[in-house]
Amino acid sequence: MKKLLTLLFILNIIFPGANGIFVPANSPDRKQTMNSPQDILIPVGTKNTDLIFRVNGSDGRLYQAYFGMKLANTENLMGSGGQDHLAYATFGTDNLFEPAVRMTHNDGNPSLDLVYLSNNVEKLSDNVIVTNILLKDPVYAIEVTLHFKSYIAEDVIEQWVEIVQKETNPVTLFNYASSMMHFDADKYWLTQFHGDWAEEMKIQESELTSGIKILDTKLGTRAHMYQTPVFFLSLNNKSDENTGELIAGTLGWSGNFRFLFEVDEKGSLRVISGINPFASEYSVQPGKTFKTPSFIFTYSNHGKGLASRNLHHWAENYGIMDGNKPRLTLLNNWETTYFDFNEKKLTSLLDDTKKMGLDLFLLDDGWFANKYPRNDDRAGLGDWQENKAKLPDGLGYLVKEADSRGVKFGIWIEPEMVNPKSELYENHPDWILKLPNRQETYFRNQLVLDLTNPKVQEFVYNIVDGMLTRFPGIGFIKWDCNRMMTSAYSVYLKDKQSNLYVDYVNSLYNILDRLRKKYPHFPIMLCSGGGGRVDYGALRYFTEFWPSDDTDPLERVYIQWGYSFFFPSFAVCNHVTSWGKQSLKFKTDVAMMGKMGYDIPVNELSEKELKFSQEAIANYKRLCDVIWHGDLYRLISPYDENRAVLMYVNSSKSKAVLFSYTLNSRYNQTFNPVKMQGLDPLKTYTIKEINTVPGGRQSQIAETERSYTGEYLMKIGLNIGNGTPLTSNVLEITE
């Protein structure tokens, strides 16, 4: 076997076109040089960046030779050139640092070695190219393929790995990273996003020192609450919005994740990203493939702003379900009624939806269960039949009433969960994750269903499919998930309990795959007790997400600012609610910088407030295309000043929308003019303040529209906002 592999390897070098072994150049302007016949270069490129691997002719292993700005010439990466960092380091032979992959074979041997076998390229479209690099253990029947999907125009690369086990007995995987990357810089600056329920996405930046730094979570049913699966890594110097060299990375996985940063004795950094291997040694049966989720990353040498725009455009075109399709504005009843509603109250909310000019009414938690009615969060979860006391005429009646008013009807579900006080719990105790010999532990009075069990998958699928089949008029779903795993044990998995964290998420994806096959474009909001599941693994199936249960608009400025680094505005659901004592205008302006919705008692609005809201919604509908799909420029950070200013500019630079929020202010504080970005210096723009309230104009923007050149707006700027705390301005900027 070993001899055969060596022969294959030599053949591949002599005949690089044969056997799918081919050295592709993603960019036609790339100069390929092969002056060192024993090495093979494998470039993975986008429009502006190069990630280049080198097969070392002498040991047959794959190394990362380069990652950064596009190279005009790769000649010197051949031979001894380039770096000597193993592209996907194994454990058990000569690696002394953290491995990307570690396994034990059935004979007890704990080692793995990977040599290059072949590579090929699949062109999925003019913009999307997949490079596959096949590695193989010379001794054991283990194959590892590194996959790189390059999104050329967006400068984004998605990497995942497939580990194929062809041994005769099961093997155990202990580490199975999606990606391993190496950097050689003077210093490394890590920006992480951490928080808790209702205080998501707080930004922290620190220098990496020698040794290991880990960002991870162990929550099971969701990626985060305490750490979000995203990071910036700045090289040499800290980066800001427009300067600095960095990568932005995120993992497409809705469960435990881990980013590991290890600075070695020479000052080199390895970054290992993937599912958190903690308590998750995974047993792989003969003939089976273990597929990791995708690590998604972009490189920028113009600061964090460009990295965010790259990810936003990638998300719009590829990363988020129907990213380039319109979204629905909505009225939600959660904070207005909580569990206390009936048909009459709901039909009046349908009227309010119409009156406000919103597209959809979203009925939240509390509409279901009869034996144990869902009148608070202690009962009923799992029993998905309309509650007869609250909805005697069923959901069909509400769908019909919504339709007759010309608004859509949406509904809340939390299909992965169960209250112990429910018929589901009584009938199917073995469908629930709980230890057989210890007390159940609750979070929000509920337990998690065992999605690894195919019968439970069928049940969850049928909750959604059954409802949409019975009521085809339902136009929207909010899919919630309000707890993490504790004291978890799967009856179904038997002696494979350490597969649970991985299998739970993959089972969820199985259900969602099935649903998306039948309902490919149905809008679904992803919610997990706030933003617990905001990740690009889940967002393949969801059109938008609920970023936080904290809807106080002052807090939201920071929370939404944090999300904006990695997620596009069209997916971030921001609702105007009763949280916070700020003006309706401030609340509205904050909600408008994303996907706007309402969750307020509309009948309590004064006539003036109602008119203001109707106009704001009309403004939003007129401008949402720019806000959703324009380029985002974060101009002044709330982390730097007592205000936050950002703008969205459309691709032809003919229209922009600027949001300015004065937060708290100090005595006699004055603000410098805001210098805009992203406009055309040669174009002339008119500036119009919108969302104004009578007598409430806060900015020094002229009452009537006034024109400025793009150059003036970007080099000299405008005074916006007058320093009064908790005031805001929205400017419409038109060529």
Residues of the shown chain interacting with ligand DGJ in the complex, contacts defined by CB under 6 A: 334, 364-365, 412, 480, 482, 527, 529-530, 546, 549
Q: In angstroms, what is the minimal distance from the CB of 27 to ligand DGJ?
A: 44
Q: In angstroms, what is the minimal distance from the CB of 58 to ligand DGJ?
A: 56
Q: In angstroms, what is the minimal distance from the CB of 105 to ligand DGJ?
A: 45
Closer residue to ligand DGJ, CB minimum distance, 529 or 553: 529
Closer residue to ligand DGJ, CB minimum distance, 334 or 536: 334
DSSP for residue 674:
B
Nearest Cα to 52, choosing from 37, 38, 60, 63?
A: 63
Closer residue to ligand DGJ, CB minimum distance, 415 or 529: 529
Determine how β-strand 188-194 pairs with β-strand 227-235.
antiparallel
Q: In angstroms, what is the minimal distance from the CB of 223 to ligand DGJ?
A: 15
Q: In angstroms, what is the minimal distance from the CB of 425 to ligand DGJ?
A: 18
Q: In angstroms, what is the minimal distance from the CB of 386 to ligand DGJ?
A: 17
Contacts of 481 (CB under 8 A, 6+ apart): 221, 222, 414, 416, 417, 527, 528, 529, 532, 533
Closer residue to ligand DGJ, CB minimum distance, 290 or 334: 334
Closer residue to ligand DGJ, CB minimum distance, 88 or 412: 412
345: tokens are 């109250």
Q: Do 456 and 449 meet the contact criterion of CB atoms below 8 Å apart?
A: yes
Helix (H) or strand (E) holding 615: helix 607-629
DSSP for residue 711:
H
Integer Cα distance of 305 and 241 in angstroms? 5
Determine how β-strand 595-599 pairs with β-strand 631-636.
unpaired
Integer Cα distance of 133 and 117 in angstroms? 8
Determine how β-strand 524-526 pairs with β-strand 544-545.
parallel
Closer residue to ligand DGJ, CB minimum distance, 395 or 632: 395
Burial of 194 (0-12, 13-18, 19+ CB in 10 A): middle
Closer residue to ligand DGJ, CB minimum distance, 481 or 635: 481
> Given 3-state DSSP classes, what are the helix, strand and coil percentages for the chain, each rounded to the nearest 5?
25, 30, 45
Q: In angstroms, what is the minimal distance from the CB of 727 to ligand DGJ?
A: 27
Q: In angstroms, what is the minimal distance from the CB of 135 to ligand DGJ?
A: 43
Q: In what order do the strands lie in the sheet with 684-690?
A: 631-636, 643-649, 655-662, 727-734, 684-690, 706-709
- Which residue is closest to ligand DGJ by CB? 365
- What number of other Cβ atoms are within 10 A of residue 265's Cβ? 8
Q: In angstroms, what is the minimal distance from the CB of 657 to ligand DGJ?
A: 27
Integer Cα distance of 270 and 266 in angstroms? 12
DSSP for residue 319:
I
Integer Cα distance of 533 and 215 in angstroms? 16
Angle at 244 between CA 241 and CA 245, to 5 degrees: 125
Q: In angstroms, what is the minimal distance from the CB of 522 to ligand DGJ?
A: 19
Closer residue to ligand DGJ, CB minimum distance, 365 or 732: 365
Q: Do 481 and 525 meet the contact criterion of CB atoms below 8 Å apart?
A: no
Closer residue to ligand DGJ, CB minimum distance, 189 or 412: 412
Closer residue to ligand DGJ, CB minimum distance, 176 or 542: 542
Helix (H) or strand (E) holding 404: helix 394-404
Closer residue to ligand DGJ, CB minimum distance, 307 or 527: 527
Q: Do 343 and 363 meet the contact criterion of CB atoms below 8 Å apart?
A: no
Q: In angstroms, what is the minimal distance from the CB of 575 to ligand DGJ?
A: 9
Cα torsion 426, 427, 432, 436: sign = positive
- What number of other Cβ atoms are within 10 A of residue 481's Cβ? 21
Closer residue to ligand DGJ, CB minimum distance, 274 or 529: 529
Closer residue to ligand DGJ, CB minimum distance, 416 or 480: 480
Q: In angstroms, what is the minimal distance from the CB of 412 to ligand DGJ?
A: 6
Contacts of 426 (CB under 8 A, 6+ apart): none
Q: Cα 369 from chain centroid?
A: 33
Q: In angstroms, what is the minimal distance from the CB of 332 to ligand DGJ?
A: 8
Q: In angstroms, what is the minimal distance from the CB of 542 to ligand DGJ?
A: 14
Question: Phi/psi at 194 (nearest 5 deg)?
Answer: -130, 175
Nearest Cα to 275, choosing from 139, 173, 394, 415?
A: 173
Closer residue to ligand DGJ, CB minimum distance, 351 or 549: 549
Closer residue to ligand DGJ, CB minimum distance, 360 or 527: 527
3-class secondary structure, 112: coil
Q: In angstroms, what is the minimal distance from the CB of 207 to ligand DGJ?
A: 35
Determine how β-strand 360-363 pairs with β-strand 408-413.
parallel
With left for phi above 0 and alpha for psi between -120 and 50, is residue 231 left, alpha or beta? beta
Three-state secondary structure string covering 8-26:
HHHHHHHCCCHHHCCCCCC
Q: In angstroms, what is the minimal distance from the CB of 511 to ligand DGJ?
A: 20
With left for phi above 0 and alpha for psi between -120 and 50, is residue 621 left, alpha or beta? alpha
Closer residue to ligand DGJ, CB minimum distance, 147 or 421: 421
Q: In angstroms, what is the minimal distance from the CB of 364 to ligand DGJ?
A: 5
Q: In angstroms, what is the minimal distance from the CB of 434 to ligand DGJ?
A: 21
Integer Cα distance of 367 and 321 in angstroms? 27
Closer residue to ligand DGJ, CB minimum distance, 89 or 225: 225
Integer Cα distance of 292 and 256 in angstroms? 12
206: tokens are 């620190």
Closer residue to ligand DGJ, CB minimum distance, 179 or 336: 336
DSSP for residue 521:
T
- Cross-strand partners of 143: 136, 164
